[in-house]
Amino acid sequence: MLKLHVLVLAFLFAAAPLLANAQAPPSDSQTLQSLLEEVRKLRQDLQSTAATVQRMQILLYRIRGQMDVVSQARQRLDESQAVLTQMKHQREQASAQIKQQEQSFNRSDDPNSRKYIEEDLERMKRWLEEMAQAEPEAQAKEAERANDLRIEQAKLNDFEDQLDRLHNQLSAARQPPARSR
């Protein structure tokens, strides 16, 4: 009986490494499964990142184009504002010239000179009236161009906001996940 116990103990000692190896394959299988899941997750993350980067590139292209549109709209508005400023300046100059001509008319005793000044005054007053009639149209054009600029700038701001969101999304994807303790 003692021999039997010694024999069983010897067998157990001899079989212990084999039993340990028999349990190892499930551990290797679990490790392999874990690695496979990690590779799949990395592939998904890479695909997601690539899609985000592609959307960012498209937005950058749109932003570049929209910046050109905004620049052109700003240039058209500046031109309209310059026209209004010029009209105001010309109107002020014409009003000053009319006053000078009226004073010259009142001081002049020569009938030929008075007739020339009177004709000149009438011409200048008609021109001033035409300017006054053209000014509301120029103001409306300036207001329309200012509105166009606001609309185009809003589109640009929207594209930039979308780009910021994508950048934040990409930055968040790069952050390592917080580990729970």
Which amino acid appears at position 90 of this protein?
Answer: Q
Q: Is 159 exposed, middle or buried (0-12, 13-18, 19+ CB in 10 A)?
A: buried
pLDDT confidence of residue 9: 52
Domain ranges of the chain: 58-171
Token duo for residue 180: 């729970």
Scan for tokens 């590779």, then name that residue: 39
pLDDT confidence of residue 19: 52
pLDDT confidence of residue 158: 97
pTM listed for this prediction: 0.65
Q: What is the pLDDT along the chain (181 residues), one digit of tens a residue?
A: 555 454 445 555 555 555 555 544 558 889 999 999 999 999 998 998 899 899 999 999 999 999 999 999 999 999 999 999 999 999 999 999 999 988 988 888 888 888 998 999 999 999 999 999 999 999 999 999 999 999 999 999 999 999 999 999 888 877 766 555 4
pLDDT confidence of residue 63: 95
H/E segment holding residue 161: helix 111-174
Determine the Cα–Cα distance for residues 158 and 169; give it in Å rounded to an integer. Answer: 16
- Of the candidates 82, 62, 88, 65, the one whose C-alpha atom is nearest the C-alpha of residue 145 is 82
Determine the Cα–Cα distance for residues 50 and 162; give it in Å rounded to an integer. Answer: 17
